[in-house]
Structure 1
Amino acid sequence: MLKERGQLKFEDKWPAMRLIVLKLLRQESVSPAEWQDLFYDVHLVCLWDEKGPSKLKEHLQEDIVQFIKQAQARVLSHREEQALLKAYIAEWRKFFTQCNYLPTPFRQLESSLQGKPATGTANLQTSNNKKGQSEESIVRKLMLDSWNESIFNDIKHRLQESAMKLVHAERNGEAFDSQLVIGVRESYVNLCSSIDDKMQIYRENFEAAYIQSTEMFYKLKGPEQLAANGVQAYMRYADNKLREEEARAQKYLEAGSNAVIQCCVKVLVGNTLPILLAECAPLIKAGETDRLQLMFRLLERVPEGVQPMLTELESHITQAGLADMVAAADIITQDSEKYVERLLELFRKFSMLVHDAFNDDPRFLTARDKAFKAVVNDTTVFKLELNTNKSIGAKSVAPESKCPELLANYCDMLLRRTPLSKRLTSEEIELRLRDVLLVLKYVSNKDVFMRYHKAHLTRRLILDASADSEKEEDMVEWLREVGMPADYVNKLARMFQDIKVSEDLNSQFRVSTTRHDAINIKILNAGAWARGSERVSVSLPVELEDYIPEVEEFYKKKHSGRKLQWYHHMSNGTITFANEVGRFDLDVTTFQMAVLFAWNQRPNEKVSYENLRLATELPDSELRRTLWSLVAFPKLKRQLLVYSPSVTIPKDFTEHTLFWINQEFCLIKNSRPQKRGKINLIGRLQLSTERSQLEDNHSIVQLRILRTQEAIIKILKMRKRITNAALQVELVDILKNMFLPSKKMIKEQLEWLIEHKYMKRDDDDINTFIYMA
């Protein structure tokens, strides 16, 4: 029967309890009966003795501290460092194991000390705490704090020094039992009884000592390696050591301890950064991709370490690219195919460098793109002059790269029936066209490319000179995919529609006329095809004049209210030339036809330049150009026309220069005259007049002015008011797919729009613009 409250004394129960507690601390065998008795006695003391809980805690602490002092003596009896660590770890692990068992019987003590009501009967529980200890047990905390105060604080410096010496030995290649260091770390991690910061003791002691010893080691070893073996070997050393330290940190430090790696990076890389960067430019120039990859791995660990590498790469690509283009200037300025292939070769070379050395890191790809853009848009080798005084609001325009014109010429060579397109398969042509689009991505003045591409497409469609009509239409869609302006691309698509409609009209016209094989008409939409005021007057041969009313009458029946305009410079035909040698079919422009028909009724006469001008009514520049194509055609060994006196350029023709038919004209093949044959005399004359180049340049500039004005007004309509800086950013973003407006052009158009009351400056801030509705 239980005694009344206050009759049971702590002193009655403690001697028996103490024996079991000491057995538990020493990890001696405890019988089930003893284990149950300890539960029961703790319950009784806490329930029936008012001072029992505090006395029990006090005596328990004394025995724990006494046990720890004995353990400390056993540890300190070892003088040799590894033996000391082994002894400490063994004692600690035994003690830490008991930290999980000893608190179990004393739960009632914890409840009493915390002021919780005690239950009326003893709960003889024999298992660990099922609640999982949501907060630190009082007895467990007592045990850990006692170990910390009694033994750990006395010998922790010796422990740390011994552990760090072992790590130092490992760094020097010596072998030892790594579990010694790991065991010490575990004790630091588990010692802390604070619920708020479990890692405090570990971080402030073990990790701090580890970082300090690591820093001291590499501060000494790093400079030695650099001085003895040079920069290249040092980079390999630093890279290997950083990998080693990462693996070592995973073994000896708690997860998430990045401070030691940051320390190593600072010492091994940060302290030698200027020396490492000095090697960057020579390595890039030499294409040493393995060493660059090594440097990249190291510098990437340092804040802003990669930025100088980006600068060096961009500088190298720009300089090497331009040097290559200048060195090959004689070849590439004469041959657009060689030019484009040279650019693509450079692009592949630089892309391979970025891939092999920098793993296609987006920052390095951006640097490559910026540098390659500078090469593509450079005007050193050749430039496109767009200067014209006709433009409203633009007095002069800076020269631009001729790259877009040459890209368009190369596309023409691939899409037209040429020796190049004939020797390539359809797949190869597609690959090369895709390559052109790749280069086009870097071109600033894309509107120039579109202008020339359209001119070439016009020539191919009118002359029916396309190598593959499917590829032609594919190219238009690819241009759309790469972001070419929709209005440009839509006009190109409309051109294909017009050709298809013209084919149907031709079929109908041939049914309505008796001379159905002699003519092929193309009715084209002026909005999609027209190129300024290029119409040129010419007196057509009677044989052609007769067709014009017939075609117009036919068209009016089909489409009333539409007006036909004849573009004779875009027309061509085939005529038969006969002389004593043989008969030859000649593909000629309408202008060439008009000139040759002047001799149709008088084949043996000599005709002066002035009489030819009166007969053909061609402008002087066009007549000179056309005559030159008939007297000095590069592919002919015997020219169609002969003239006197001899000149070197068409501008030297005078009104008295005489021209006559070469009665010995024929085609020469294998050094033998042929009696039959066909020759194309059109060449590059078709669709281009002398003034068309000037008009093209003028229209490019004019269109840019209008586009810039439109974009400014669009931005202002949206924003109502905007600063100059913000306006320029938005403006470039809108126009970048066509061209990059110069600051001068933007300024001129802003002034023009202000002058014409489309916008105004803010009265209080001249750098802010306000939209005027």
Structure 2
Amino acid sequence: MASVGTSSALLRGNGSSNFTDQWPKMQPIVVKLLKQQEITRQEWQDLFWDVHTVCSWDEKAPAKIQKALEEVILEFTREIQTSVSQHKEESALLKAYIKEWTKFFTQCQYLPLPFQSIEVENSANKANKKRQEGNKVQVLMLQTWNRSIFADVRSQLLSAAMSFLYKERSGEAYDAQLVIGVRESFVNLCTDTSNKLQIYLEYFEKSYLEATKEFYTSSSSQYLSENGVQNYMRYASDKISEEQRRATRYLETSKDSQSVKLVMTELDRILIKTHSDVILEECPKLISANEVEKLMVMYRLMDRIANGVDPMLKCLESHIVNTGLSDMKAHAEVITTDSEKYIEELLKLFKLFSELVKDAFGDDSRFLTSRDIAYKKVVNDVSVFKLELGTKGKVSGASKTHPESKCPELLANYCDLLLRKTPLSKKLTSEEIDEKLRSVLLVLKYVQNKDVFMRYHKTHLTRRLILETSADSEKEENMVEWLRDVGMPAEYVNKLARMFQDIKVSDDLNTEFKDKNKGSDTADLVNIKVLNAGAWSRSSERVPVSLPTELEDFIPEVEEFYRKKHNGRKLTWHHIMSNGSITFQNQVGKYELEVTTFQMAVLFAWNQRPEDKISFESLRLATELPDPELRRTLWSLVAFPKMKRQVLLAEPEVASFKEFCDLTMFYVNQEFGLVKQGKLQKRGKINLIGRLQLTTEKTKEEDNEGIVQLRILRTQEAIVKIMKMRKRLTNAALQTELVEILKNMFIPPKKMIKEQIEWLIENKYMKRDEDNLSTFIYLA
């Protein structure tokens, strides 16, 4: 078999190999291939051989073969052109064209194969042989189709395709493959390898864009006027989804094509941007009505255009601020006196606004930011209640401050309710308390002046630790760590942690002291707490008081014991922070009273004369208490809240402690007793301390003043720190960095920043640039 094949090959080689003799044999096979008629395997193989031998023997043969091919292909395409042009109806024209094009394009893959020899022979650069293979004949076929058929029917094809597109958009059914076939012919006809989509972009994409624009420009305006904004939003949303699918189906989607994106951009402009003002007018109404589904549609539409959701963000902010403040004002009577109700109301609002952002805007970060901005305004509002912080100007640069929100104080009060032994903390489980404490931290995140919260929280913690009223010591320490985790300033948190350490050290000290003084009745009854002055809330002044003899004699013993253990440390007694228990007995019964040291000093005035009446002036001399403290202490014994029978009675009766005068007489109520469920108890334990007074009226003012003074110092410190690092900085950049540093403590007002900058300039810490007064220079 091999020898026969070789013999056959030799016979062919010895025959005529010029173009003139061989082309008549090749042409019929080429025509059959073009017409997709059946050819034998021998004819297919002979065509390969004949092309090769002709090109091998005659160097001009490739050009001759190419020219002859062009004539055959041109004649073939003219026949097709005549056949296709006979169809005048759009659908018939498209079907005829696509049928012929599909067959022709298929042959574009097969007919070039036998003619690869002319590709190689015509390639001047042999290194480009591989790149040139299969190009010339295929290019010739496509170019011929383009000139003879496509150029003639191109306009008709586009018109018919866009007409079908219009029908589909109008709801009529038709064969989608016809438009797809037209698209493919526009894509595949281009022979420019550097821009394969040139013909498609120039004709098909352009026509598609124009048809889309024309259809929706008229239909969208008409739909809006006839059906209203809310129905139009749904219409626009549906059409965008529909056109996305349609564009993906009918347009070129290769990586080199941007057709789908261009169409959708144009559609967004027509359906959304053109009518954006009308659409956005509905936003406030939908937010107020909590129409989350319609808001989601609006959001998805507006998010498709540049800055489209910005007006929606402003609407959301306005709604949250207005709703939040209206709700606060509506419940003002309750929340101003009940910190629990206040926090619950704030949390209810936060949950409401968060659900709105989640359901209507999919928790988009921009809307979450707007929620936070608006909620912060609600939390820090001063229209319902406010905290006045003032200063007498003791610190350089101090000036009158603006009122602040009372929220941080109420948050601290609420924490105290949860952490102290109260009816609220007793009825909650450990998990519920943790949840509520974390809710406090959530609200605290939005509080601008966190230093106020820390001041009050520290005061409440002081009371709980001194009175030993913490519901759970572990939760107390957990709360300190949570404050650290949410970014509270380290110096504040470290002081709280130090307070727990002091209590533990004091417990050990007490144990040691009692062991040393075994047998002493007083030592067993007294519990001392030695507290670090820098960590604990304390009064800046010592309040004088005449203590009972038992306590007065006990103080030197404690001081001597402590001196021996810690030589050089100074003890300062703060009786305003101390308390104790005394036994009270009258004709009704015998009771154990928990009292402050001041209350104890007052009650001991009757220790030797229980039936006497004592004047206000005499009590002042006996206790040595300052007038304001004596008035408050007596009032707590004459009119203690929740007590049906008071320990002391005043004569004449007064409405407030301010009405006490030197001649007001006080005496022990011999009918004093504990009443439970309407029954008088003969024995029991009664707490008369209430909220342990840690400061005097004077030092309350000093505390508030201290907050402002500390802010001024912190602002000065931060400015110097920034300038020392930057050396040179503009006013705007300085303020930005300053707020970033101080935001976890407080937000410094612009007035304060300006004043502290001027103070630092006056004191030669920095100066203004002579050429640019808004730029500052650090002075080493």
TM-score by length of 1: 0.96
Residue in structure 2 matched with residue 429 of structure 1 by the alignment: 433
Out of 76, 84, 107, the position equivalent to 2:85 is 76
1:419 aligned onto 2:419: no
Residue in structure 2 matched with residue 676 of structure 1 by the alignment: 683
Shift of 1:530: 4.1
Shift of 1:203: 1.5
Alpha-carbon distance in structure 2 between the residues aligned to 1:492 and 1:479 = 10
CA deviation profile, 1:108-164 (whole Å, cap 9, x unmatched): 11222223579xxxxxxxxxx995x57760111111111112111110111111111
Alpha-carbon distance in structure 1 between the residues aligned to 2:476 and 2:132 = 75
Residue in structure 2 matched with residue 394 of structure 1 by the alignment: 398
1:371 aligned onto 2:364: no
Alpha-carbon distance in structure 1 between the residues aligned to 2:265 and 2:759 = 58
Out of 102, 112, 119, the position equivalent to 2:121 is 112
Q: 1:115 to 1:593 in 2, by over 3 A?
A: same
Shift of 1:692: 2.7
Residue in structure 1 matched with residue 726 of structure 2 by the alignment: 719
Q: What secondary structure is seen at the aligned counterpart in 2 of 1:682?
A: coil
Q: What secondary structure is seen at the aligned counterpart in 2 of 1:484?
A: coil
Displacement over 3 Å in runs of 4+: 1-5, 133-136
Q: What secondary structure is seen at the aligned counterpart in 1 of 2:524?
A: coil
Shift of 1:2: 9.8
Out of 715, 726, 744, the position equivalent to 1:708 is 715
Matched-pair contact (CA < 8 Å) for 1:391–1:698: no
Residue in structure 1 matched with residue 220 of structure 2 by the alignment: 222
Alpha-carbon distance in structure 2 between the residues aligned to 1:250 and 1:759 = 64
Amino acid at match of 1:267: I
Residue in structure 2 matched with residue 347 of structure 1 by the alignment: 350
Out of 226, 231, 235, the position equivalent to 1:233 is 231
Residue in structure 1 matched with residue 578 of structure 2 by the alignment: 571
Residue in structure 2 matched with residue 596 of structure 1 by the alignment: 603
Residue in structure 1 matched with residue 7 of structure 2 by the alignment: none
1:64 aligned onto 2:73: yes
Q: 1:732 to 1:429 in 2, by over 3 A?
A: same
Alpha-carbon distance in structure 1 between the residues aligned to 2:230 and 2:171 = 22
Q: What secondary structure is seen at the aligned counterpart in 2 of 1:526?
A: coil
Residue in structure 2 matched with residue 405 of structure 1 by the alignment: 409
Residue in structure 2 matched with residue 382 of structure 1 by the alignment: 385
Q: What secondary structure is seen at the aligned counterpart in 2 of 1:78?
A: coil
Shift of 1:252: 1.0
Shift of 1:231: 1.2
Alpha-carbon distance in structure 2 between the residues aligned to 1:3 and 1:296 = 77
Alpha-carbon distance in structure 2 between the residues aligned to 1:688 and 1:288 = 52
CA deviation profile, 1:688-738 (whole Å, cap 9, x unmatched): 321232111011001101110110111011111111111100000000000
Residue in structure 1 matched with residue 166 of structure 2 by the alignment: 168
1:301 aligned onto 2:304: yes
Matched-pair contact (CA < 8 Å) for 1:75–1:88: yes
Alpha-carbon distance in structure 1 between the residues aligned to 2:539 and 2:73 = 104
Matched ranges for 1:369-518 at <5 A: 369-392=372-395, 393-513=397-517, 514-515=520-521, 516-518=523-525
CA deviation profile, 1:200-247 (whole Å, cap 9, x unmatched): 111211111111111111112112211221111111111111111111
Alpha-carbon distance in structure 2 between the residues aligned to 1:643 and 1:174 = 97
Alpha-carbon distance in structure 2 between the residues aligned to 1:437 and 1:535 = 35
Amino acid at match of 2:708: V
Q: What secondary structure is seen at the aligned counterpart in 2 of 1:258?
A: helix
Residue in structure 2 matched with residue 43 of structure 1 by the alignment: 52
Q: 1:136 to 1:749 in 2, by over 3 A?
A: farther
Alpha-carbon distance in structure 2 between the residues aligned to 1:134 and 1:449 = 80
Shift of 1:532: 4.8
Residue in structure 2 matched with residue 193 of structure 1 by the alignment: 191
Q: What secondary structure is seen at the aligned counterpart in 2 of 1:668?
A: strand
Shift of 1:184: 1.1
Q: What secondary structure is seen at the aligned counterpart in 2 of 1:389?
A: coil
Q: What secondary structure is seen at the aligned counterpart in 1 of 2:580?
A: strand
Matched-pair contact (CA < 8 Å) for 1:386–1:398: yes
Amino acid at match of 2:424: L
Q: What secondary structure is seen at the aligned counterpart in 1 of 2:581?
A: strand
Shift of 1:669: 2.6
Alpha-carbon distance in structure 2 between the residues aligned to 1:13 and 1:439 = 94
TM-score by length of 2: 0.95
Shift of 1:685: 3.9
Between the two proteins, the alignment pairs up a number of residues equal to: 762
Residue in structure 1 matched with residue 543 of structure 2 by the alignment: 536
Q: 1:56 to 1:116 in 2, by over 3 A?
A: farther
Q: 1:575 to 1:135 in 2, by over 3 A?
A: farther
Residue in structure 1 matched with residue 5 of structure 2 by the alignment: none
Shift of 1:522: 0.8
Mean Cα displacement is larger for which, 564-573 or 177-186? 177-186
Matched-pair contact (CA < 8 Å) for 1:538–1:591: yes
Residue in structure 1 matched with residue 656 of structure 2 by the alignment: 649
Q: What secondary structure is seen at the aligned counterpart in 2 of 1:760?
A: strand
CA deviation profile, 1:448-504 (whole Å, cap 9, x unmatched): 000000000000000000111111111000000000000100000110111111111
Out of 105, 108, 119, the position equivalent to 1:96 is 105
Residue in structure 1 matched with residue 23 of structure 2 by the alignment: 14
Matched-pair contact (CA < 8 Å) for 1:136–1:195: no
1:281 aligned onto 2:276: no
CA deviation profile, 1:522-574 (whole Å, cap 9, x unmatched): 11111111435142111111111111011111112222221111110000000
Alpha-carbon distance in structure 2 between the residues aligned to 1:285 and 1:637 = 49
Out of 540, 547, 555, the position equivalent to 1:548 is 555
Amino acid at match of 1:327: A
Shift of 1:8: 5.5
Matched-pair contact (CA < 8 Å) for 1:136–1:193: no
Mean Cα displacement is larger for which, 31-40 or 264-273? 31-40
Q: What secondary structure is seen at the aligned counterpart in 2 of 1:529?
A: coil
Q: What secondary structure is seen at the aligned counterpart in 2 of 1:517?
A: helix
Shift of 1:405: 0.2
Q: 1:117 to 1:640 in 2, by over 3 A?
A: closer
CA deviation profile, 1:275-334 (whole Å, cap 9, x unmatched): 100111100011000000011111111111111111110111011111111111111111
Q: What secondary structure is seen at the aligned counterpart in 2 of 1:273?
A: helix
Residue in structure 1 matched with residue 141 of structure 2 by the alignment: 143
Overall identity of the aligned pairs, in %: 63
Matched-pair contact (CA < 8 Å) for 1:135–1:195: no
Amino acid at match of 2:677: N
Shift of 1:643: 1.5
CA deviation profile, 1:371-393 (whole Å, cap 9, x unmatched): 00000000000000002223421
Alpha-carbon distance in structure 1 between the residues aligned to 2:101 and 2:541 = 99
CA deviation profile, 1:658-688 (whole Å, cap 9, x unmatched): 1111222112233333211221111124323
Alpha-carbon distance in structure 1 between the residues aligned to 2:461 and 2:132 = 80
Alpha-carbon distance in structure 1 between the residues aligned to 2:755 and 2:214 = 64
Alpha-carbon distance in structure 2 between the residues aligned to 1:531 and 1:422 = 29
Alpha-carbon distance in structure 2 between the residues aligned to 1:8 and 1:519 = 129
Matched-pair contact (CA < 8 Å) for 2:652–2:665: yes
Matched-pair contact (CA < 8 Å) for 2:119–2:132: no
Amino acid at match of 1:152: F
Residue in structure 2 matched with residue 247 of structure 1 by the alignment: 245
Mean Cα displacement is larger for which, 437-446 or 151-160? 151-160
Structure 1: segments with no counterpart, 5+ residues: 119-128
Matched ranges for 1:594-673 at <5 A: 594-673=601-680
Residue in structure 2 matched with residue 291 of structure 1 by the alignment: 294
Residue in structure 1 matched with residue 38 of structure 2 by the alignment: 29
Q: What secondary structure is seen at the aligned counterpart in 2 of 1:284?
A: helix
